[in-house]
Amino acid sequence: MTANSPRVMVELIKVSKTYPPSVHALQDVSLSVRSGEMLFLTGKSGAGKTTLLRLLCRSEVPDKGLVEVAGQDLERISGSGLQQLRRRIGMAYQDFRLLPRHTVAQNIALAMEVAYRKPSFIRKRTRELLERLRLSDKYHTPAGELSRGEQQRIAIARALANRPDLVLADEPTGNLDRETSTLVMELFREHEEQGATLIIATHDRELFDDGGHRVVELRDGRLLAPEDGEDTGSGDASLQSEEADQ
Amino acid sequence: MTANSPRVMVELIKVSKTYPPSVHALQDVSLSVRSGEMLFLTGKSGAGKTTLLRLLCRSEVPDKGLVEVAGQDLERISGSGLQQLRRRIGMAYQDFRLLPRHTVAQNIALAMEVAYRKPSFIRKRTRELLERLRLSDKYHTPAGELSRGEQQRIAIARALANRPDLVLADEPTGNLDRETSTLVMELFREHEEQGATLIIATHDRELFDDGGHRVVELRDGRLLAPEDGEDTGSGDASLQSEEADQ
Amino acid sequence: MNFLRAIIGQTLRNLRRTWSSQALTLLTITLSVLIFSFFFLIYINMINAGRHMGDNLRLIVYLDEEPGKPLQDEYRRKILKFDRVERIEFVSSRQAYERFRKQLGHDQDVLEGMPRNFLPPSIEVYPIRSLATLTRIKRFSDYLQTLPGVLKVQYGREWIDRFYSFVKLMRVVVILSGLLLLLTTTFMVAHTIRLTLCSRERELELLRLLGASNQYIRAPFFLEGALQGLVGSICGLAALYVFFDWFRLRFAGTAVLNLFPFTFFPIPVVLTIITAATLLCAGGSFFSTRRITRL
Amino acid sequence: MNFLRAIIGQTLRNLRRTWSSQALTLLTITLSVLIFSFFFLIYINMINAGRHMGDNLRLIVYLDEEPGKPLQDEYRRKILKFDRVERIEFVSSRQAYERFRKQLGHDQDVLEGMPRNFLPPSIEVYPIRSLATLTRIKRFSDYLQTLPGVLKVQYGREWIDRFYSFVKLMRVVVILSGLLLLLTTTFMVAHTIRLTLCSRERELELLRLLGASNQYIRAPFFLEGALQGLVGSICGLAALYVFFDWFRLRFAGTAVLNLFPFTFFPIPVVLTIITAATLLCAGGSFFSTRRITRL
Ligand SMILES: Nc1ncnc2c1ncn2[C@@H]1O[C@H](COP(=O)(O)OP(=O)(O)OP(=O)(O)O)[C@@H](O)[C@H]1O
Ligand SMILES: Nc1ncnc2c1ncn2[C@@H]1O[C@H](COP(=O)(O)OP(=O)(O)OP(=O)(O)O)[C@@H](O)[C@H]1O
Ligand SMILES: [Mg+2]
Ligand SMILES: [Mg+2]
């Protein structure tokens, strides 16, 4: 599979992550994501979705296994190499990670400023994103004074701001109603069309039930047998998870 | 309606709340909730659901209108009266408000300790709730090290710990998968059966589509024409909201 | 019962959880007490030294003739009428000669052949040694001049001026350093309280929302503050004593120790400092939570 | 270009957003510089006063007969062989008599009829006024005793001992206060940096995750630190100068000012203090972010 794809954006090989003392967040996970693909990652609460995404932007390092993003081994990457890679990744965190005292515009601009974009570009892109997410009137509002759903959209806007090659969205619609979720998904699809790779962790079946996108499921840290013929995951994953549930 | 009900737990009359400079979070909202009722509050992101719940536990005061909880006018209540009332209210916050350094058990115990419960009772109740929410193995884990879905369940457990008369749950299943959501809803129903009043703010239609519970919808700070003959809400609410959407 | 158990339990848990910030606060208090008492000790010893130096302070009243017993009593009465003094001494011509001879030391042979009573008799008046007296010494001298039979009144004017200005100078220096340090200490303590409150703001706000009573929230702060004030002030004073002891050893036998008779605080002062620090810290941390109980 | 603009923009935005905590830091630095330079100033003036007092320091070498010009040169040579001295003065019998007469003051009539040369001639040696010299004065005296024609060597032993111990004492006091204050200042600055970092930890971590370069994160801290060090030290020194001026006015004309000739720091010292503070603050806040760039 990996060999067939034109270019591989994300490659995980037998990755395990254990939090001290003994929380096996990920076990032997292998997964590869083609460049330009939109992938949904599902799984019960505590299955390890967030952990997987955190490995991809190296906020967490794996105990075992190989993590490659855009062809670069994250274990061997240099400091400035990592910084450059991170500017090509946009992550919408499950807990948003907004700066509550900064205004909405400043929060979004941050992602572009660290890449030394021009102020004029930053302003234009910020306005465009806020427009798309129906938050234009909150431009100057401090992020801490928004409702949770509004904050979630700001987090998504920040992740997309820099037109990253890889978008990681962690539960992007958890605080959004159906209508607003649709807005967000439209934005995601647009970026997919423009060539970005997207990995979306969600438990909301409605997000992926309609389309022909690949969906992988984590259960207790293991990838389940894939739904559309993926060669990832281990056969006894479901059995293992049933034991763990006891 | 208010007059007919055996006892009214929550009474809002023409309540308005405006955040500075001019965010009209709630406008002329009137609503009454019977003791023992389970009420769902829906609405788009930013409609004012959280604001309404915050008024009920007086983390926020209204600009206009009357807010009564358990027969007490929240504007006139004394300091210790408010403290006693708050111990009878359990709120699961949308942003959880857990103490990240405290263990899961300590977080849940807090709600009972402020009511000077016996340590033995606290321990028993904590174990019981964690059991029900499938989090028994996280008893001694610091809350900051949990996945978001797990944190959400802890926030719910804390809200229910004291067996409050009024439960306010703000988006209680936003980070939970279907299966876990069911566990939470079972807990809520159990408390309803034991006589608690519940107000659940959510955008998840699956939570209330099945049952015969009352659902009210907020749109841009106004209560919509009620679905089951409530006398609350103003007629032109939907028109107003369409204007605001432009 | 449940209340007490909850409070003490919470205090202990807080102390355990935030021990690093607690240690910081303790250090702050220890330093503050140390600094304060250090300067206080210097000030006290300086005042003592001033007294000691004042031993040399006297007015010499030269008389035209040796006064008899009744006249001596008369003088004594008149002097005491003006002001309380520490001591009055009558020096005859003979005594004055002996003293002068001793003062000349190896040059005393120059006095050979001089009559033993060529120096006039005098009264030596030792005023009470206090700064207040020093400021009045000129008036005192003028008064003594008016007594009958007085030739001339002499006192170490230059010396007194110097000493007096020196004490004033030291007083200003000590007060300035004291002010500076008070500022610093206040600032540090406010800083520390701010740090503590900041780090616990979310917790306290949450307690409020859960319906905790004022006592439940504030009692642990009060206990914590009192404990820290107590331990901190004891540590600070102990450190000062160690310094002091080393200091005294270091200068044992030198002339300085004769000049400045170093003493540590007496026990009541020590107890007062400890009590004050404890109350201050308890009160401070208690009142700093006032803002929170208003939520 | 874009880099510079981004950095300066961020620094300005930070200053604006966190101005209250910035003001606190500034106050801390001002206080620290004030305290440090206050004690430094006292120390410097004390050393000066020491020099000044040392003017009285001399060894008197009594000779058995009036030395002629060549003998004087011989003495001078021999004395200089032992140590560098500040001044050597030859006092004839006649000069000694005049001085003694003046010292006696109103008692000078006792000298009437004495021969004018009853006092021996002497050499007055003024050693270089430094503490080092004081410690060697005994040896110096012993050496002078061995010179030919010397009757006796005299110096104000008791006075020197006293002065020497007093200076030692003051040195210990100043060093102790200095240490205490250094401790306090370090503590305060560390505290402040901790507070700043704490409040901006989330922001810095986020910048890391967004892929900000090390320079982007650290340059604003460096600029901020430098700015604060500069402004803080200037404020501190200005405050000290105001104190100093008031102080000098307060004691103008009193005997103390003759005893201690107060002077402020010379310009180079002022510049050095400002530069040092600026570099320290810039470096401090730069290095305090090291932990963060490792994320
Ligand atoms: N502290 C605040 N200061 C200013 N504006 C606020 C504040 N809190 C909420 N708002 C504004 O009030 C409006 C209603 O907010 P609220 O949090 O009640 O919405 P909500 O219905 O809970 O939305 P969501 O589903 O996104 O949580 C929003 O437009 C929000 O931006
Ligand atoms: N920092 C941490 N320290 C220790 N354990 C952790 C930490 N973060 C996550 N875990 C544990 O690792 C497991 C997987 O967590 P993760 O956050 O990846 O789950 P998730 O799939 O994102 O769940 P959710 O849908 O609830 O967000 C959970 O059991 C969690 O308790
Ligand atoms: Mg997650
Ligand atoms: Mg909300």
Supply the DSSP string of C198-260, one letter for each residue. Answer: HHHHHHHHHHHHTT--HHHHHHHHHHHHHHHHHHHHHHHHHHHHHHHHHHHHHTTTSHHHHHS
Give D25's pLDDT tier (boundaries 50, 70, 90).
confident
DSSP B224: P
Within a domain: residue C162? no
Q: Is residue A11 pLDDT above 70, yes or no? A: yes
Pocket test for ligand 1, best of A146, A148, A176 (most atoms within 8 A of CB): A146
Within a domain: residue C14? yes
Q: Is residue C55 pLDDT above 60, yes or no? A: no
According to the model, what pLDDT value does residue D1 have?
66
Q: Is residue B55 pLDDT above 90, yes or no? A: yes
D205 and D99 inside one domain: no
Does residue A59 have its Cβ closer than 6 Å to ligand 2?
A: no
According to the model, what pLDDT value does residue D106 have?
61
Q: pLDDT by residue (tens digit) across C145-194? A: 888 888 777 776 655 666 566 667 667 776 777 777 667 666 766 666 76
- Subunits close to C (at least 3 CB pairs below 8 A): B, D
Mutate one of D27, D38, D107, D110 to test the C interface: name it (highest C CB count within 10 A): D110
Tell me how far CA of residue D80 lies from CA of D77, D87, D142, in angstroms: 5, 10, 15
According to the model, what pLDDT value does residue A134 have?
93
Q: Is residue B38 pLDDT above 90, yes or no? A: yes
> Which H helix or E strand runs over A101?
none
Within a domain: residue D196? yes
Length of chain B in terms of residues written: 246
Residues D175 and D42: their CA atoms lie apart, in Å, by 11
According to the model, what pLDDT value does residue D5 have?
81
Given C109, C125, C154, the domain boundary residue is C154
Q: pLDDT by residue (tens digit) across C197-220? A: 777 788 888 998 999 988 888 888
Does residue A45 have its Cβ closer than 6 Å to ligand 2?
A: yes
Q: Is residue D46 pLDDT above 90, yes or no? A: no
Q: pLDDT by residue (tens digit) across B133-149? A: 999 999 999 999 999 99
DSSP B103: B
Residues B171 and B200: their CA atoms lie apart, in Å, by 7
D47 and D172 inside one domain: yes
Rounded to a whole number of angstroms, the distance from the CA of C130 to the nearest CA of chain D is 19
Q: Which residues of B sit within 8 Å Cβ distance of A?
A: 19, 42-46, 50, 94-95, 134, 145-150, 152-153, 171, 174-180, 203, 205, 245
Q: Which of D10, D209, D214 sits opposite A86 (nearest CB)?
A: D209
DSSP C252: T
Largest CA distance in chain A: 57
According to the model, what pLDDT value does residue B148 have?
95
Q: Compute φ and ψ for B218, nearest 5 degrees.
A: -95, 140
Strand, helix or coil at D128? coil
Mutate one of B116, B151, B154, B166 to test the C interface: name it (highest C CB count within 10 A): B116
Give A3's pLDDT tier (boundaries 50, 70, 90).
very low
- What type of residue sits at position C134? L
Q: Compute φ and ψ for A31, nearest 5 degrees.
A: -160, 140
Q: Compute φ and ψ for D49, nearest 5 degrees.
A: -60, -40
According to the model, what pLDDT value does residue D253 have?
66
According to the model, what pLDDT value does residue B243 have?
40
CB < 8 Å to A205, chain B: 178
Within a domain: residue C160? no
According to the model, what pLDDT value does residue C125 have?
82
C39 and C99 inside one domain: no
Tokens 């910020």 belong to which residue? Answer: A126
Q: pLDDT by residue (tens digit) across C250-268? A: 777 665 555 566 788 999 9
C250 — contact with chain B (CB < 8 Å)? no
Geometric angle at alpha carbon D224, from D219 and D225, rounded to 5°: 100
Q: Is residue A28 pLDDT above 90, yes or no? A: yes
According to the model, what pLDDT value does residue D153 have?
78
C173 and C268 inside one domain: yes
Least confident interval from B219-223, B228-232, C149-153, D52-56: B228-232
B8-19, strands of its sheet edge to edge:
B23-34, B8-19, B64-69, B72-73
CATH number at residue C94: 3.30.70.3040
Q: pLDDT by residue (tens digit) across C275-289? A: 988 998 888 888 877
Of B123-132, C82-91, D6-15, D175-184, which has the strongest mean pLDDT? B123-132
Number of Cβ within a 10 Å radius of residue B63? 14
Mean pLDDT of chain C: 77
Least confident interval from A19-28, A108-117, B46-55, D44-53: D44-53
D138 and D66 inside one domain: yes
> Which H helix or E strand runs over A146?
none
D281 and D191 inside one domain: yes
pTM, full prediction: 0.78
DSSP D108: G
Torsion sign (Cα): C44, C47, C53, C58: negative
Within a domain: residue C259? yes
Rounded to a whole number of angstroms, the distance from the CA of D162 to the nearest CA of chain C is 5
Q: pLDDT by residue (tens digit) across D78-101? A: 888 777 777 788 888 888 878 777
Look at ligand 1, atom 23, and give the residue with the nearest C-alpha. Answer: B46
Q: Which of B45, B148, B179 sits opposite A147 (nearest CB)?
A: B45
C46 and C66 inside one domain: no
Question: Cβ separation of C6 and B116 shorter than 8 Å?
Answer: yes
The total of structural domains in chain D comes to 2
Strand, helix or coil at B93? coil
> Could you tell me the two tokens for A156?
């998504």
Given C105, C130, C154, the domain boundary residue is C154
Q: Which of B42, B45, B134 sits opposite A176 (nearest CB)?
A: B45
D177 and D139 inside one domain: no
The DSSP secondary structure of D64-86, one letter per residue, reads SS---HHHHHHHHHHHHHH--EE
> Could you tell me the two tokens for C227?
């404990």
Give A242's pLDDT tier (boundaries 50, 70, 90).
very low
User: What percent of chain C shows pLDDT beyond 70?
Assistant: 73
CB < 8 Å to B85, chain C: 211
Within a domain: residue D249? yes
D260 — contact with chain A (CB < 8 Å)? no
Within a domain: residue D159? no
Q: Is residue B95 pLDDT above 50, yes or no? A: yes
Residues A149 and A180: their CA atoms lie apart, in Å, by 9
Q: pLDDT by residue (tens digit) across D160-184? A: 666 566 667 667 776 777 777 667 6
Pocket test for ligand 1, best of A130, A147, A154 (most atoms within 8 A of CB): A147
Mean pLDDT of chain B: 88
Residues B136 and B134: their CA atoms lie apart, in Å, by 6
Put residue A32 in one of left, alpha, beta given phi > 0 → left and psi -120 to 50 → alpha. Answer: beta
Per the structure, the complete domain to which residue D265 belongs is given by 2-51+167-293
Q: pLDDT by residue (tens digit) across A191-240? A: 999 999 999 999 988 888 877 899 999 999 999 865 544 444 333 333 33
- Comparing alpha-carbon positions, the chain A residue that sits nearest to D1 is A116
C19 — contact with chain D (CB < 8 Å)? no
Q: Do chains A and C touch (3 or more CB pairs under 8 A)?
A: no
Residues A101 and A103: their CA atoms lie apart, in Å, by 7
CB within 8 A of A186, min separation 6: which ones? A132
Given D129, D154, D179, the domain boundary residue is D154
Q: Is residue D191 pLDDT above 50, yes or no? A: yes
Question: Averaged over B151-171, what is the pLDDT?
Answer: 96
CA nearest C112: which of D110, D103, D104, D117? D110
D173 and D228 inside one domain: yes
Contact A114, A167 (CB under 8 A): no
D133 and D181 inside one domain: no
CA nearest C166: which of A3, D198, D259? D259
According to the model, what pLDDT value does residue C34 have?
83
Question: Averaged over B199-222, what is the pLDDT?
Answer: 90
C290 — contact with chain B (CB < 8 Å)? no
According to the model, what pLDDT value does residue C282 have?
87
Q: Which of C6, C17, C214 sits opposite B113 (nearest CB)?
A: C6
According to the model, what pLDDT value does residue C261 have?
66
- Comparing alpha-carbon positions, the chain B residue that sits nearest to C213 is B83
Q: Do chains B and C touch (3 or more CB pairs under 8 A)?
A: yes
Q: Which of D114, D172, D256 sits opposite C110 (nearest CB)?
A: D114
Q: pLDDT by residue (tens digit) across C74-102? A: 888 888 877 777 778 888 888 887 877 77
Within a domain: residue C127? yes
Q: Is residue B235 pLDDT above 60, yes or no? A: no
Does residue A95 have its Cβ closer than 6 Å to ligand 2?
A: no
According to the model, what pLDDT value does residue D101 have?
74
Residues A38 and A196: their CA atoms lie apart, in Å, by 8
CB < 8 Å to D206, chain A: 97, 99, 110
Question: Cβ separation of A87 and D216 shorter than 8 Å?
Answer: no
Among the bound ligands, the one closest to the CA of B27: 1
C282 and C203 inside one domain: yes
Put residue A46 in one of left, alpha, beta given phi > 0 → left and psi -120 to 50 → alpha. Answer: left
According to the model, what pLDDT value does residue A120 have?
93
Higher pLDDT: B79 or B232? It is B79
Give C294's pLDDT tier (boundaries 50, 70, 90).
low
According to the model, what pLDDT value does residue C274 have?
93
Least confident interval from B218-222, C128-132, D38-42, D124-128: C128-132
CA nearest A97: which of D204, C289, B141? D204
Would you tell me which residues 134-193 of chain D have a C-beta closer than 8 angstroms to some C-beta of chain C? 158, 161-162, 165-166, 168-169, 172-173, 176-177, 180-181, 183-184, 187-188, 191-192
Give B32's pLDDT tier (boundaries 50, 70, 90).
very high
Question: Averaged over B93-113, what is the pLDDT?
Answer: 93
Partners of B125 in the β-ladder: none
CA of D15 to the centre of ligand 1 (A): 29
Higher pLDDT: D142 or A109? It is A109
CB < 8 Å to A95, chain B: 148
Q: pLDDT by residue (tens digit) across D246-295? A: 888 877 766 555 556 678 899 999 999 999 889 988 888 888 777 766 65
D21 and D81 inside one domain: no
Q: Is residue D152 pLDDT above 80, yes or no? A: no
Among the bound ligands, the one closest to the CA of B149: 2
D110 — contact with chain A (CB < 8 Å)? no
C135 — contact with chain B (CB < 8 Å)? no
User: What percent of chain A shows pLDDT beyond 70?
Assistant: 89
Q: Is residue B29 pLDDT above 50, yes or no? A: yes
